[in-house]
Amino acid sequence: MNAVLIVDERNGLAFNHRPPSRDGALMEDLKTQIDGPLYATDYFGRMASRYGLDVCEEQPENDEDWVLFDHDPTPEEAEKINKIILYRFMDVYYPADERLNLDLSDFTIEEELSFEGTSHDEIVREVLVRNAV
């Protein structure tokens, strides 16, 4: 599977089960990065669908499907991830009740881009690909 993760600069994933931000520029950028449906649950899925992303609440069906994680991936989920789009809000530290602890040492940064958000001065997008075994 492919993962989308949205964090603050300290890897905060969610506060009160909500994402660190609902930045419109981030969602517009995400639309250019994925094709096909985005698998997401609850609040994250409703947020993404408001920005015109095709959201599906069912389980992903194949290795190319994109999942918007609202939690730190479990070890079982982590081993299935082949590619990650990681959005990071820079200079922002939200109180977080969920943090990203995923070990990214098995991944290589393929692309990195910094852009201005609608509600944040700087958002960094990193595209990471799992290293070949």
The pLDDT assigned to 85 comes to 97
Tokens 């096909």 identify what position?
36
**Beta-sheet strand order (sheet of 66-68):** 55-56, 38-39, 66-68, 2-8, 83-89, 123-130, 107-115
Tokens 């789009």 identify what position?
85
The pLDDT assigned to 43 comes to 72
The pLDDT assigned to 92 comes to 74
Spatial distance between the Cα atoms of 131 and 122, rounded to a whole number of angstroms: 28
Compute and round to an integer the Cα radius of gyration of the chain: 14
The pLDDT assigned to 46 comes to 77
The pLDDT assigned to 15 comes to 76
The continuous run of DSSP H or E covering 8 comes out as strand 2-8
Give the chain's end-to-end CA distance (angstroms, integer).
Answer: 17
The pLDDT assigned to 122 comes to 93
The pLDDT assigned to 61 comes to 76
The pLDDT assigned to 81 comes to 95
Spatial distance between the Cα atoms of 127 and 125, rounded to a whole number of angstroms: 7
pLDDT, one tens digit per residue, over 60-77 is: 778 889 999 888 999 999
| pTM of the complete model | 0.91
The pLDDT assigned to 77 comes to 93
Is-contact 37 118, C-beta < 8 A? no
Spatial distance between the Cα atoms of 61 and 63, rounded to a whole number of angstroms: 7
The pLDDT assigned to 51 comes to 80
DSSP 72: P
Look at the alpha carbons of 76, 78, 83, 86 in this order and tell me if their dihedral is positive or negative.
positive
With a cut of 50, which residues of the chain have pLDDT below it? Answer: none
